[in-house]
Amino acid sequence: NEVRGDEILKWAKVLNLPADQLALRNVDVTFLLEPNHLNVADRYFRAVFNSLKYFGLWYGQYPYDTMTIVDVPRHSATCCMEYPTFITVGTYFWPAEYGLSPEGVTVHEFGHQFWYGLVGNNEFEEAWLDEGFNTYSDGKVIDEAYPFHCGYNYFFGMPVPAYSWLSVDPPSFPFAGVGGVPVGSLFSCVQFPMRTAGRDFYLNNVKDDDLVRNGWQYLNGASYGLNSYTRVGLTLRTLESYLGEDVMARVMRTFHQRWRYRHPDTRDFIAVVNEVSGRDMSWFFQQFFYGSNMVDYTVSDISSTPLEGKVGLYDEGGKKVLYAEKSAEEAFNKSKDKRYRSTVTVRRLGEAIAPVDVAVQFQNGETVREQWDGQYRWIKYVYDKSSEVKSAEVDPEHKLTLDSNFTNNSYATREDNRGAAKWYVRWVFWLENLFFAASFFS
Ligand SMILES: [Zn+2]
């Protein structure tokens, strides 16, 4: 009774499949809980039910009758791990109400039933195919099942991390916001999008390695972690932006169904992407899976100048005629249909190459959308219009989750006062990513 009929219809439509192919089965879920974690039992169960539901709807039903989850003691080396029909997970005595413990680790370890268990890649050679797919998929489950989740609580206006692995023992850890205890307005949380989770960790280390490497051939443990988990999540989200969410959902399902109980490798995934999308996405894999270049596009300048007509000395019908600058300016000011030449300069600052959209807005509200292949170092768009350019933005939807600097994507004629806000956002993201990087699990 976990899945409503309208949910099945919704995903059947997205996946372009008859609804009966999305039917799920009943599964006996057994939890073995630490005695002092009984207060978390409900959250644990919800996390497994949500995982069974979304992984099942998206990739095909979980094919076994049982699922057993062991909640292991804190600091136990047995946490957290996946085995067929059996996983180990862990949580804290007093988890934050809107934090993602125990949900994050539970959804992740469950996800390995699908990525590693049912679709069995070679983890030593291509860890990204299980850990990375799972990072992408568990993020999608969190998006659906826990759209409201927090990275932080606030204390007197300062963000306080909700991650309870800070190991502060209760009751001296009052920031968690336990359900039912009124903590008032002192505490609030910052929601962080799963789509960009771990961006700073990625940006600080992308140049260490290509994404696709044998597990033992990464520069170090951090690079192994980045390229097996975080970077894959970000990169598959970027692929999703280029293909569209529905097409990406069909790609993932087709790949899973085709390779269930079998052993795919990276090339098999690329083949499914190209086949299902009907596009040749080889460039994407070349840039972002078999490379280690940064991507960064920017609008470096916009400008408009009046189209005033002639200025200078002209030879007209054998006579020399002088058009003064001042009279041209006066004529322009008097004219009723003024025209302007506007120029928008977009530059590629990074080494990675990807096609990008450019959205240009004019003072009269008119908008123009350009598509640039992003190949050369720059491109200029020139417009002769009755209105001046107001602003321009490259990759306005932030499809390139991997872009190293979103703050330089847009350019407006009037500087607005967002410098401080940008600084603050950057600081919060830095904190968030620091904690994200430290919270790896298997
Ligand atoms: Zn894992």
Residues 182-221 have pLDDT tens digits of 333 334 456 678 898 889 899 999 999 999 999 999 999 9
* Maximal CA-CA distance, the chain: 103
Q: How far away, in angstroms, is 381 Cα from ligand 1 center?
A: 46
Q: Tell me the CA–centroid distance for residue 112 and ligand 1, in Å.
A: 7
| CA separation for the pair 200, 193 (Å, rounded) | 13
Question: What integer pLDDT is reported at residue 428 of this predicted model?
Answer: 54
φ, ψ at 441 (rounded to 5°): -135, 170
Q: What is the whole-number distance in angstroms between the Cα of residue 131 and the centre of ligand 1? A: 5
Query: Which protein residues have their CB within 5 A of the ion that is ligand 1?
Result: 131, 442
What's the whole-number average pLDDT of the chain?
86
Instruction: Please tell me the distance between residue 222's alpha carbon and the centre of ligand 1 in angstroms.
Output: 15
pLDDT computed for residue 434 by the predictor: 52
Q: Using the predicted structure, report yes or no on whether residue 375 has a pLDDT greater than 60.
A: yes
pLDDT tens digits along 296-334? 999 999 999 998 877 888 888 888 888 888 888 888 888
DSSP-derived pairing of the beta strands 297-306 and 158-161: unpaired
226 vs 285: CA distance, rounded Å: 17
306: β partners: 340
Q: Which of 14-28, 89-103, 266-280, 346-360 has the lowest mean pLDDT?
A: 89-103
- pLDDT tens digit string along 86-142? 999 988 766 767 778 889 999 999 999 999 999 999 999 999 999 999 999 999 999
How far does the centroid of ligand 1 lie from the alpha carbon of residue 241, in Å?
24
Dump the DSSP string for 216-259: GGSSSHHHHHIIIIIHHHHHHHHHHHHH-HHHHHHHHHHHHHHH
- How remote is the CA of residue 128 from the centroid of ligand 1, in Å? 10
Q: Distance, CA 178 to ligand 1 centroid (Å)?
A: 28
CA 219 to chain centre: 24
In words, the CATH class of domain 297-399+405-433 is mainly beta
Q: Which segments of the chain belong to CATH 2.60.40?
A: 297-399+405-433
Centroid of ligand 1 to alpha carbon of 397 (angstroms): 30
Q: Does the structure show a pLDDT above 70 at 425?
A: no
- Cα(228) to ligand 1 centroid in Å equals 9
